[in-house]
Amino acid sequence: MNKWPATPIDLIEEYVVHARNAGNSNDTTTITSPEAFVNACGTTYGQDINICLNDGTPVINSVCVGPKNNDTTDGHYLYYYRDHLNKTDPVHDFVEKVKWASNHYKSKDQALFLLAYGGLGLYGGHNDIFIFIQNVMRELGEDYIVIGAQEMVRLAKEQCKKTVPSKNNI
C-alpha cells in the first residue's frame, strides 16, 4: 500500500499476474483473481477514479476527499450513512456530493462508476436506506442510475474492453 487505504495500481497488476499464474500451475489449488477491484481512496493519491488494468480488469476507486471547505474528515466523501450529511436535508446534501464527484471525475463519452457506501442505517444514518436512495434518485434525475456491485462489474468490464490495452479511464 502506498498510503492507507489505497493500493498502487502496479501492485494490483502484480497480484493479478501472480494469481493467474498460480492458477495455471500444477498445484491442485486454483487461485483466481477477482473480476474487478474496489480500491479505497485511490483518487486521493493521484489515481484515476475508474481504471482498466492491462488485462481489462476494472479497478473502481472511491472518492474520499470532496471539494475544498467540505468536511470529509470522517472518511469517504460518498458515504450516505455518516453523520456528516446535513441533518435537516441529508438527501439534498448527498445529491450535491454525487453531482460534485460526477462533475469532477466524469470523462466525456465514458461511463463513470461512483462508489456510494451505505450501511442500511448504521452509524446514525437513515432508517430506511431504500427510501433514502429513492429520494436521492428522484432528485438526481435520469442521468444517474443506481446499480449493485455485480452489475457495476459487468458494465465496467464492458467499458474496459473498449479501452484496453490503454490505461484510459472507464
Residue pLDDT, tens place only, 70-98 = 655 555 577 665 566 777 888 888 888 88
Is residue 69 one of the residues assigned to a domain? yes
Segment holding 58, helix H or strand E? strand 58-61
Question: Range of 144's domain?
Answer: 9-163
- Does residue 53 fall inside a structural domain? yes
pLDDT higher than 90, residue 58: yes
Task: For 117, list phi and psi in degrees, rounded to 5.
Answer: -90, 140
3 is a domain residue: no
Higher pLDDT, 129 or 116: 116
SS3 52: strand
Average pLDDT, whole number, for the chain? 78
Averaging pLDDT over each range in 68-72, 113-117, 120-124, which range is the top one?
113-117
In a domain, 31, yes or no: yes
Alpha carbon distance 85, 114 (integer Å): 17
Task: Decide: helix, strand or coil at residue 69.
Answer: coil
The model's pTM is 0.78
Question: Is residue 103 very low, low, confident or very high in pLDDT (cuts 50, 70, 90)?
Answer: very high
The residue-averaged pLDDT of 113-120 equals 73
* Number of independent structural domains in the chain: 1
Residue 163 confidence (pLDDT): 77
Under 8 Å CB-to-CB from 71, ≥6 apart: which residues? 84
Whether the CB-CB separation of 97 and 78 falls below 8 Å is answered with: yes
Cβ atoms of 170 and 59 within 8 Å: the answer is: no
Q: Is residue 169 part of a domain?
A: no
CB atoms within 10 A of CB 89: 11
Q: Rounded CA gap, 137 and 18, in Å? A: 41
The model's confidence at residue 7, banded by pLDDT at 50, 70 and 90, is confident
142 within domain boundaries: yes
Q: Which residues pair with 79 in a beta bridge?
A: 117
